[in-house]
């Protein structure tokens, strides 16, 4: 892999980053820390100082003031000579002239460009959904993607008399939000189209555990239900399913998936394949344009296949990889995906990808602490650990180092979960 920045003097080079969430912000600061001398411009359409997104459905929603948690204090951008431009929407990329165009018509030139535009919530075309408003015409259907979303949702909850919430979609965002609503005293219904929650991303074992957890906390969890319409009365909205069942709501949270923000990549005629296609240093099909985060598709060397990941970890890892390559032409280190989810008093930590497993070993230390180990024959693919950091750490070591795990010892609770017993070297 060859770095191409033999351009003007390093002080004259400019990098423009579109998107100031986890990926964009980490890229900008890492690039400066790695010794980049030229100008760095960081743009985002969100007017809020860049903030942590994972807490939105958890701590942010549950807090009294619904304040965001900044990724960096404002002074840090000035101190690092990073030009932070908020509330600015980019409408086009011209790879021939190496310029971007803002909605206001202004053009900005670049030597290197980073697209970190992520995803947006998918709002399904359900009849009556966009008509879900209060008596003043304010929308009462929401997604959970931005700080503004969290503020609007908390406002709707505080204003509602019965605090009846319907969540359409039983994915992680929906489930995390459900646990927050329960903590805030709401009556929560979760409606999932599939036969079980999280069916596309985890096993029946974990799905069943989380199903029983939410039911035990008071969530009305409805699966195999297809929402077809939202009906409205003067005081209530009703979520109607194809089987005729109806669920009352003061407001509705939609969490059925995302759409990739790849419009700018399309205008620049970059290669796409289930996301913006990038190589191992996050270069797109144009050598001076890079892309990082949720909107990208990359070849994972650990799993030997193309994947697209929606995770903070992936965005941050790609940001560091791209920045180090641009600044120093360094070679990337293969990254192992990891994720987490907080629901009630349970922390779920996931390392690796479970797709392709043909065996699960369950190790249950107690009903509140257990781990699932996913294998394809003798190859460990993934570990899901509930309140069990040790299992998560050992699983990470085993997958990264391609170490064979002794399944017999793993399933034997009489043997401590420790590296010297578990991992066959």
Domain-embedded: residue 377: yes
Strand-strand pairing, 164-168 and 359-366: unpaired
> How remote is the C-alpha of 389 from its chain's centroid?
21
Helix (H, G, I), strand (E, B) or coil at 127: strand
Please give the DSSP secondary-structure letter assigned to residue 284.
-
> Residue 277: its pLDDT value, please?
98
Tokens of 114: 């980073």
Of 372, 371, 374, nearest to 388 (Cα)? 371
Domain termination residue (choose one: 217, 232, 256): 256
The domain total for the chain is: 3
Place of tokens 């669920």: 247
Domain-embedded: residue 334: no
**Contacting residues for 226 by C-beta, under 8 A, at least 6 apart:** 193, 241, 242, 243
- Residue 109 sits in the same domain as residue 40: yes
> Residue 424: its pLDDT value, please?
60
> How remote is the C-alpha of 68 from its chain's centroid?
17
- Residue 318 sits in the same domain as residue 365: no
- Residue 287 sits in the same domain as residue 248: no
Domain around 145: 129-256
The CATH number assigned to the domain holding 46 equals 3.50.50.60
Q: Judge contact between 5 and 36, C-beta under 8 A.
A: no
* Cα–Cα distance measured from residue 88 to residue 395, given in angstroms and rounded to the nearest whole number: 42
Domain-embedded: residue 336: no
Domain-embedded: residue 335: no
Domain-embedded: residue 337: no
Across the 425 residues of the chain, what is the mean pLDDT of every consecutive 10-residue run?
48 91 98 95 97 95 94 98 98 96 96 97 97 92 96 95 97 97 98 96 97 98 98 95 98 96 96 96 97 97 94 96 90 88 97 96 95 96 97 95 90 85 66
- Residue 160 sits in the same domain as residue 196: yes
* Cα–Cα distance measured from residue 395 to residue 382, given in angstroms and rounded to the nearest whole number: 7
- Residue 139 sits in the same domain as residue 188: yes
Domain-embedded: residue 338: no
Domain-embedded: residue 295: yes
Please give the angle made by the CA atoms of 411, 417 and 420, to the nearest 5 degrees.
Answer: 110
**Other beta carbons within 10 Å of 273:** 9
The per-residue DSSP string of 4-49 comes to ---SS-GGG-EEEEE--SHHHHHHHHHHHHTT--SEEEEEES--SP
86-96 in b/e form (b: 16+ CB < 10 A) is eebebeebebe
Q: Judge contact between 150 and 144, C-beta under 8 A.
A: yes
- Residue 56 sits in the same domain as residue 137: no
> Residue 416: its pLDDT value, please?
85
Question: What are the backbone dihedrals phi and psi of residue 402, each rounded to the nearest 5 degrees, phi first?
Answer: 55, 45
- Residue 264 sits in the same domain as residue 156: no
- Residue 292 sits in the same domain as residue 216: no
* Cα–Cα distance measured from residue 259 to residue 310, given in angstroms and rounded to the nearest whole number: 11
> Residue 417: its pLDDT value, please?
87
- Residue 38 sits in the same domain as residue 116: yes
The CATH number assigned to the domain holding 410 equals 3.30.390.30
- Residue 186 sits in the same domain as residue 251: yes
- Residue 139 sits in the same domain as residue 241: yes
- Residue 248 sits in the same domain as residue 134: yes
């Amino acid at each position: 892999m060859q770095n191409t920045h033999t351009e003007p003097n390093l002080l004259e080079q400019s990098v423009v980053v579109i998107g100031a969430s986890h990926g964009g912000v980490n890229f900008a600061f890492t690039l400066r820390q790695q010794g980049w001398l030229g100008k760095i411009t960081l743009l985002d359409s969100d007017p809020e100082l860049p903030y942590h997104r994972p807490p939105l459905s958890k701590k942010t929603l549950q807090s009294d003031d619904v304040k965001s948690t900044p990724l960096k204090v404002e002074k840090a951008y000035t101190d690092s000579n990073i030009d932070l431009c908020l509330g600015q929407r980019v409408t086009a990329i011209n790879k021939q002239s190496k310029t971007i165009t803002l909605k206001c018509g202004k053009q900005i030139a670049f030597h290197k460009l980073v697209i970190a535009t992520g995803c947006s919530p998918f709002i399904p075309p359900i009849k009556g959904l966009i008509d879900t408003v209060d008596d003043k015409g304010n929308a009462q259907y929401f997604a959970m993607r931005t700080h503004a979303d969290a503020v609007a949702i908390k406002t709707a909850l505080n204003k509602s008399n019965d605090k009846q919430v319907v969540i359409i979609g039983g994915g992680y965002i929906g489930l995390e939000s459900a646990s927050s609503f329960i903590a805030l005293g709401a009556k929560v219904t979760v409606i999932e189209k599939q036969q079980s929650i999280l069916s596309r991303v985890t096993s029946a074992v974990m799905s069943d555990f989380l199903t029983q957890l939410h039911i035990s906390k008071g969530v009305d969890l409805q699966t195999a239900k297809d929402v077809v319409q939202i009906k409205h009365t003067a005081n209530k909205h009703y979520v109607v399913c194809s089987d005729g069942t109806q669920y009352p709501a003061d407001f509705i949270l939609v969490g059925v998936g995302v759409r990739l923000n790849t419009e700018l990549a399309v205008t620049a005629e970059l290669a796409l394949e289930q996301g913006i296609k990038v190589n191992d240093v996050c270069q797109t099909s144009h050598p001076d344009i890079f892309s990082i985060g949720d909107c990208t598709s990359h070849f994972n060397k650990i799993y030997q296949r193309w994947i697209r990941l929606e995770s903070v970890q992936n965005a941050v890892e790609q940001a560091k990889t791209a920045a180090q390559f641009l600044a120093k032409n360094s070679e990337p280190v293969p990254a192992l995906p990891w994720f987490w989810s907080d629901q009630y008093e349970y922390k779920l930590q996931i390392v690796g990808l479970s797709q392709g497993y043909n065996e699960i070993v369950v190790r249950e230390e107690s009903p509140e602490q257990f781990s699932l180990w996913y294998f394809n024959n003798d190859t460990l693919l993934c570990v899901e650990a509930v309140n069990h950091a040790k299992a998560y750490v050992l699983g990470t070591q085993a997958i990264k180092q391609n170490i064979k795990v002794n399944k017999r010892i793993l399933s034997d609770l009489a043997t401590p979960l420790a590296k010297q017993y578990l991992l066959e070297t």
